């Protein structure tokens, strides 16, 4: 399988943390329902409540590209510059193990 794995790190300004968390949390359900989404997991850093992390696996780069154009991202994208002190950081990973699914 030539799936795509990314880790996205989003850092909020302290004064916008709650608003950003709500916008990010609202992305989970519709993203998980997208074709090609294997998993889309939302986390907060255990030491810094302003740092949010997404761990994502997609069936293909085309599926990830389609995700980035989804209308449910618009409320987040339209406010991102106001809410963040720095750009979103995206790390692309190559998985060396196989994906297993919990039963």
pTM to 2 decimal places? 0.90
pLDDT, tens digit, 9 for 90 and up, residues 77-102: 899 999 999 999 999 999 888 877 66
Q: Which domains are delineated in the chain?
A: 4-93 (3.30.70.100)
Question: pLDDT value at position 13?
Answer: 97
Only one residue has tokens 């339209």, namely 78
Per the CB < 8 A criterion, the answer to whether 40 and 28 are in contact is yes
E strands present in the chain:
4-11, 37-44, 51-58, 89-93
Using the CB atoms, write b or e for 12-51: b if 16+ within 10 Å: beeebbeebbebbeebeeebeebebbbebebeeeeeeebe
Q: What pLDDT sits at residue 27?
A: 96
Model confidence pLDDT, tens digit, residues 51-86: 999 999 999 999 999 999 999 999 898 999 999 999
């Amino acid at each position: 399988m030539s799936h795509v794995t990314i880790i996205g790190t989003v850092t909020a300004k302290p004064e916008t943390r709650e608003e950003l968390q709500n916008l990010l949390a609202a992305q989970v359900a519709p993203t998980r329902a997208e074709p090609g989404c294997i998993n889309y997991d939302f986390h907060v850093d255990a030491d810094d409540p302003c740092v949010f992390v997404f761990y994502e696996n997609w069936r293909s780069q085309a599926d990830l590209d389609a995700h980035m154009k989804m209308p449910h991202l618009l409320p987040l994208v339209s406010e991102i510059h106001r809410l963040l002190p720095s750009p979103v950081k995206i790390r692309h990973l190559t998985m060396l193990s196989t994906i297993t699914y919990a039963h």
